[in-house]
Amino acid sequence: MKKLVLKETKQLFKLTQLINEGVLDLDDLAALIPGILHVNSTHDLSLEYISKQGQDLIRYSMEELLELGTAVYERHQSDFTLKVTYPSLVEKISDGDTDKIIPFIQDWKHSEDDKPFHLFTSTRILNDDQLISVSIFPQNVESFSDKIDSIFGVDSLFEAYFERFNRLTKREKEVFFLLGKELSRKEIADLLFISDKTVKNHAERVFQKLGTKKRTDLYKLAQVFSSLK
């Protein structure tokens, strides 16, 4: 399951690129992927967009969801999701790291008498005000990943280094991308308003976490991951 979860988070990393570059709008993308695409507010997690498949599943129209805001969660989700899962998500996005993928499980039930069902969700910051997420039934993680691979393909360097790249802190990623632009330590220090020594320390951790000592490798990896941002 761990490998499937990791693979599914990679797909969201790639899908976000298409949105940010304007290649596809949300409805176009939702029609392609075998999952529920949704956009939530970073401020209170209220739904600002959910695909037609998602609307059908939770039995609300987009107009109703916009009117209800977060009140819809209180009607249909457990105390654990509301008081543990969502606060944890808010904490994890508070650093503003747009490269971080956050996976979690959430529940939903249509009425008090219904048995709740669970969805596996992967979330990423889309912009200052929004999160973009894909939710699927846990048993469908593998088929989802295979479908996205068949649509968009997988870059070998991206596949090999994604997990290592995801271990970098937000500041280490900033240094990583600037090193990939072949900037000197002093130039990076000036851009980030930190000391040369701090840049050196960050750079050493970047090389260590990525498992390479070559600046040329870093340049290639920065190209791969910056093209998917």
One domain for residues 104 and 28: yes
pLDDT in tens, 39-75: 999 999 999 999 999 999 999 999 999 999 999 999 9
The Cα–Cα gap between 98 and 131 comes to: 10
pLDDT in tens, 123-160: 889 889 999 998 888 655 455 455 545 444 446 677 77
> What's the pLDDT at 228?
52
**Beta partners for residue 50, in sequence order:** 38
> What's the pLDDT at 64?
97
**Could you tell me if 181 and 222 are in contact, meaning their C-beta atoms sit under 8 angstroms apart?**
yes
Average pLDDT of 207-217?
Answer: 88
One domain for residues 164 and 132: no
Looking at 152, 184, 214, which one is the last position of a domain? Answer: 152
pLDDT in tens, 101-118: 888 889 999 998 888 898
Q: Domain holding 132: CATH number?
A: 3.30.450.20
**Could you tell me if 45 and 90 are in contact, meaning their C-beta atoms sit under 8 angstroms apart?**
yes
More confident residue, 199 or 145: 199
Structure tokens at 110: 């249509």
| Residue bearing tokens 């976490």 | 209
Is residue 25 classed as helix, strand or coil in its secondary structure? coil
Domain count within the chain: 2
Q: Which of 170, 216, 162 lies closest to 192 in space, CA to CA? A: 170
**Could you tell me if 121 and 103 are in contact, meaning their C-beta atoms sit under 8 angstroms apart?**
yes
| Residues spanned by the domain of 205 | 156-226
> What's the pLDDT at 207?
93
More confident residue, 33 or 4: 33
